């Protein structure tokens, strides 16, 4: 299908996406603000602490910020984040945010798994999320946004609505698999961690410029505004998130749908049975 315009007199859709990630115990992210690399095999305790900020502090600041703007986001959550920070995940759901699957840990990359292991990880994460909030997730974004050739089919078999591991289009579209149809939702080209060793102000400027361009030139624009709880939830980045949202909220015709909302919109307009 070709999206020519949105409903609700909207000329641009802004999808607010939060990555709520956790790594395996004793593991740190492969990136951090620190510039000095450690010897191979060294436990990076600072990196571990830095990553745990998301569940302890960052996600709560993000919830407060989004609440101030009346925006409900899609939160892609590691299964282990649900286990470690269940109250945060329950509160996200209570406030109306969509809770989507994001593998078990950020270092559980699907491309390194056998098909059987991948299917099990997806199924396991569904169960963990449903066990915490009482609702099965309908969306999935893989770590690093890196799927395998089977991922979309496995998600369709689990009755997922949308899959976020794509960057071949500016707009959502329906992908048909052997297991059924899923809506492809393009991932962000510029998340908050792009400015780890630069100026947080760059985050605001990139999204402002992109918004201005699409708002001025297209009637069907879409932006995936993406940030991470363990970095975007820190004051230096939260300040930029406030500025971005304040700027976009100053225009008419701006729609802030969750991923599941826009997926259902696409399925309705594509004459594909809704789920």
Residue-range domain boundaries for the chain: 12-28+44-269
What's the alpha-carbon Rg for the chain, to the nearest Å? 18
Torsion 18-66-258-14 (CA) sign: negative
User: What is the per-residue pLDDT across 119-168, written as a single tens digit (0 to 9) for each?
Assistant: 999 999 999 999 999 999 999 999 999 999 999 999 999 999 999 999 99
Residue 271 has pLDDT above 80, yes or no: no
Query: In this predicted structure, which of 8-12, 45-49, 200-204, 259-263 has the lowest mean pLDDT?
Result: 8-12
Q: pLDDT band for position 274 (50/70/90)?
A: very low
Nearest to 52 by CA among 17, 89, 79, 27: 27
70-90 burial code (b ≥16 CB/10 A, e <16): ebbbbbbbbbbbbeebeebbe
Strands 221-228 and 12-20 turn out to be: parallel
DSSP string, 88-113: HHHHHHHTT-EEEE--SSTT--GGGS
User: What is the per-residue pLDDT across 185-241, written as a single tens digit (0 to 9) for each?
Assistant: 999 999 999 999 889 999 999 999 999 999 999 989 999 999 999 999 999 999 999
Residue 3 has pLDDT above 90, yes or no: no
Q: Is the Cβ–Cβ distance between 157 and 120 less than 8 Å?
A: no
Q: Which residues contact 61 (CB under 8 A, 6 or more apart)?
A: 233, 235, 238
Q: Is the Cβ–Cβ distance between 55 and 84 less than 8 Å?
A: yes
Residue 7 has pLDDT above 80, yes or no: no
pTM of the model: 0.94
Paired residues of 15 in beta bridges = 224
Topology classification of domain 12-28+44-269: TIM Barrel (3.20.20)
What was the pLDDT predicted at 1? 64
DSSP string, 186-229: EPPSS-GGGGTTS-THHHHHHHHHHHHHHHHH-SSEEEEEEEET
């Amino acid at each position: 299908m070709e999206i020519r315009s949105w409903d609700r007199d909207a000329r641009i859709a802004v999808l607010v996406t939060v990555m709520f990630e956790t790594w395996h115990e004793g593991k740190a992210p492969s990136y951090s603000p620190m510039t000095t690399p450690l010897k191979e095999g060294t436990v990076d305790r600072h990196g571990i602490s830095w990553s745990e900020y998301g569940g302890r502090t960052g996600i709560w600041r993000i919830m407060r910020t989004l609440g101030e703007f009346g925006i409900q986001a899609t939160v892609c959550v590691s299964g282990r984040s649900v286990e470690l920070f269940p109250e945060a995940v329950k509160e996200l759901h209570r406030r109306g945010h969509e809770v989507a699957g994001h593998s078990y840990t950020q270092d559980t990359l699907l491309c390194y798994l056998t098909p059987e292991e991948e299917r099990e990880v997806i199924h396991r994460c569904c169960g963990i999320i449903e066990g915490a909030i009482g609702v099965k997730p309908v969306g999935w974004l893989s770590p690093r946004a890196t799927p395998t050739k089977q991922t979309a089919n496995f998600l369709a078999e689990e009755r997922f609505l949308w899959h976020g591991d794509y960057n071949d289009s500016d707009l959502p579209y329906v992908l048909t698999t052997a297991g059924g149809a899923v809506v492809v939702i393009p991932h962000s080209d510029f998340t908050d961690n792009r400015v780890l060793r630069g100026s947080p102000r760059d985050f605001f400027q990139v999204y402002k410029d992109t918004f201005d361009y699409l708002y001025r030139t297209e009637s069907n624009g879409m932006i995936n505004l993406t940030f991470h709880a363990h970095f975007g939830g820190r004051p230096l980045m939260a300040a930029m998130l406030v500025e971005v949202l304040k700027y976009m909220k100053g225009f008419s015709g701006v729609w802030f749908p969750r991923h599941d909302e826009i997926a259902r919109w696409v399925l309705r307009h594509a004459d594909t049975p809704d789920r």
